Amino acid sequence: MIHFYSGFSEFGGSTLIINSVVRLLNEASVEARFWGPDPWFEKLSPYNHKGFPPLAPDDVLVCHMHAPITRPNVRKNIYYCHEETAEFRKAKFFCESCCIETVGRFHAHSVDSGVCRVCRKRVAKYLGPLQFDHIVFSSVNHEKKSRSVQPRWGPSSIIPNPIEINFEWKPPEIPTAGVIGRLERRKQAAVSIRKAQEAGFERVLLFGNEAGDGYFQEEIEPLLDANVQWMGLVDDREAMYRSVSEVFHYSSKEQAAMVLGECKKLGIPFHCSEAVHDWDLYSDEYIVRAWLELLEV
């Protein structure tokens, strides 16, 4: 069994991407399941389940936004994330002598260059990505950026993310800028609105749900008027994309923005910050073959 587990499965691009990968694997006669802490995503697919997967020695565990303290007893433990190694930016060490996790100013590039604050022995082992057998990056640029902040990544592959778009894009008659994604602080929708207006767009449409971190009330609501409108979360992606002429996405730290892949496939002009890496477009058949080779099934 192939188990995908996400420690963060709120509605967003990463969850939809993993959902698509799991569906494609099952369509290729590979038994795969997607697990996570939130129940909502079970409605996306019969292959999705709430909770942590029951693991067997012959299974493969693919982790997203989750770093186990020790390597689980599985055939292969894989890390699959669209961020730049977010949970490994802080060096974490586990003392092999007194078995206590300790965090300090250790040299993050070394495997065992820490001193345990409890037993004072130089035996603290760096956790980070070392408990994973393999890393899956989503593009060449993603791998380059990730390794620049975490040189300790081990063996890796680049497997592009699938994009489920089955229609042709036609721009609206009235020039309209689109800002697409969850309205949260890191995605900086307010910056995207200003960039669109600086580019000459009077009409700006926002598509996405409110994150609940106060950003919407603080930064977005003051900008809303007859020309800048919040459309909420729109499930009809064809109607959404056909209502915009160009898309602006000035996220501060997001890496694999699914909206970039969708715009690239549709041919919609896309403007973004340097934090958003490129999206390598490949066919579903190519993506499935790459996963099958990695999973050895």
Task: Please indicate, yes or no, whether residues 140 and 211 belong to a single structural domain of this protein.
Answer: no
Residue 117 lies in a domain: yes
Question: Does one domain contain both 82 and 145?
Answer: yes
- E strand or H helix that includes residue 19: helix 13-27
The count of structural domains within the chain is 3
Distance CA 297, CA 276 (A): 33
Q: How long a stretch of residues is the chain?
A: 297
Do residues 110 and 53 both lie within one domain? no
- Do 109 and 209 lie in one domain? The reply is no
Residue 169 lies in a domain: no
Residues 118 and 134 in one domain: no
Residue 278 lies in a domain: no
Distance CA 117, CA 131 (A): 22
User: Can you give the pLDDT at residue 178?
Assistant: 97
Q: Could you state, in chain order, the average pLDDT of each consecutive group of 10 residues for the chain (297 residues)?
A: 88 85 96 92 93 95 82 92 57 52 43 53 52 87 76 82 91 96 89 97 94 88 96 92 96 76 94 81 93 92
The CATH number of the domain holding residue 136 is 3.40.50.2000
Distances, alpha carbon 228 to alpha carbons 42, 196, 214, 245, in Å: 34, 11, 19, 15
Shared domain check, 83 and 149: yes
pLDDT of residue 87: 47
Task: Assign 27 to helix, strand or coil.
Answer: helix
Domain range for 33 is 2-87+129-162+283-295
Entry pTM: 0.76
Can you name the residues that pair with 34 across neighbouring β-strands?
4, 48
Same domain, 229 and 135: no
Output the pLDDT for position 35. 95
Residues 186 and 252 in one domain: yes
Are 156 and 225 contained in the same domain? no
15 & 139 share domain: yes
Same domain, 156 and 246: no
264 and 245, same domain (yes or no): yes
Query: SS3 for 83?
Result: coil
Q: How far apart are CA 283 and CA 170, in angstroms?
A: 22
Q: Is residue 190 part of a domain?
A: yes
